[in-house]
Amino acid sequence: MTGALDNIKVIDLSRILAGPWASQMLADMGAQVIKVERPGKGDDTRLWGPPFITPAANKTSANAAYFHCANRNKQSIAVDITTTQGQQLLKALILQADVVIENYKVGGLKQYGLDYASLKALNPKLVYCSITGFGQDGPSAHKAGYDAMIQGEGGLMSLTGEPDGAPMKVGVALVDIATGLYSCNAILAALLARYSTNKGHGQYIDISLLDVQLAILANQGMNYLATGENPQRLGNGHPNIVPYQTFATQDGNLILAIGNDQQFEKFCRLAGCAELADSGRFSTNAVRVLNRKQLIPIIAQKLARHTTAWWVNELEQIAVPCGAVNTLAQVVNHPQIKHRKMIKQVPDENGDLIKTVASPINLSQTPLKYKSASPNLGQHTRQLLSQELGYSQSQIDQLFEAGIIS
């Protein structure tokens, strides 16, 4: 079967996580993604370890596990874009491309003739996605943006953590990942528009981490707009639903995720506190939210009487949503995760298999492909120059000797 994006070529000038996350999604869907990196250095995340993944056949080409989370199914070409020859080489690749993704500072690529206006003149069909911390305009546009600082500046940290504790960031780079998802969606929309309404022309996409952070505040953002009051940190509690949080059991922790009054009534009967569901203080979600401080200790006392497995088994039988709080070791061995084949193995350049977490996207007619592990720096430089641009081996050797490519 062919991939959904088999005829799409992407030039990926991005580094770290947000841009590579978007381009990996496109690569999984079948697009040819050419990752452009700095000779000798490459993407910073190649060194963001330990842990590192060291190929069995080449002990000198270890890359951080971090790098491998966002760069499978790509080809790597190492080009010095500060040189005229490097710029010409890259423009020749972009002339054939459908998409460019970059996350340089605002205006950073203009000096190399690799900004949207310059490339649009060469390739009008180009979809060009710029990812920055704060957007292309405005008083903060000049600032660099990193996930943790955006979680703070964009309000997420103020919502995360225990009520009496310090603000906390989320345990993964959530803003970068969400920015990658939004970027991929925007690119697909622009490609569709190119074919349907835009008369074969591409367009420019401006994505900002700060904008994404605000957008994904979701119900909490709307809670503020509705009341004008800053939402407070609730630890593992939910601002709009009670009980919807973690509780200690006899041997571990449980997430109880009660979403309606009928589920609450069933839980109370099982827990031996049916009177709570009839109480005027707790009978509806609205009053449970108002009386959270009185209700939660009662439920906590009930849940501490049995093991996590006991509660999960009993609650599932009466259709009350719940789940264990698992470690990653437990997650990857979860029967459902195994059934869904969410852990894949992909070959590196030597044929060694490297484990990767699969995409959650399942397409019936154009399934995603897991063709190759993340590339070594410059792994495909010679191949791409020869096959894509028709360079002779002597021309390629000269560029290598000049340090323009590696």
Catalytic residue ranges: 176
Q: Please tell me the distance from the alpha carbon of residue 61 to that of residue 352, in angstroms, as a whole number.
A: 13
Residues 6+ apart with CB under 8 A from 351: none
- Residue 114's alpha-carbon distances to 108, 236, 275, in angstroms, are 9, 46, 68
HSE at residue 267, side-chain half, CA atoms within 13 A, is 26
Using only C-alpha atoms, what is the Rg of the chain? 25
Burial class (CB within 10 angstroms; exposed 0-12, middle 13-18, buried 19+) of 66: buried
Using DSSP's 3-state secondary structure scheme, residue 150 falls into: helix
Q: Which of 228, 223, 236, 208 is nearest to 133 (CA)?
A: 208
CA dist 77 and 387 (Å) reads: 13
- The secondary structure of residue 107, as a DSSP letter, is T
Among the listed residues 346, 354, 328, the one whose alpha carbon sits nearest the alpha carbon of residue 53: 354
What is the C-alpha separation between 224 and 398, in angstroms, rounded? 60
* Cα dihedral 173, 177, 182, 185 in deg (nearest 10): 180
CA distance 399 to 395: 6
Is 144 buried (19+), middle (13-18) or exposed (0-12) by CB count in 10 A?
Answer: exposed
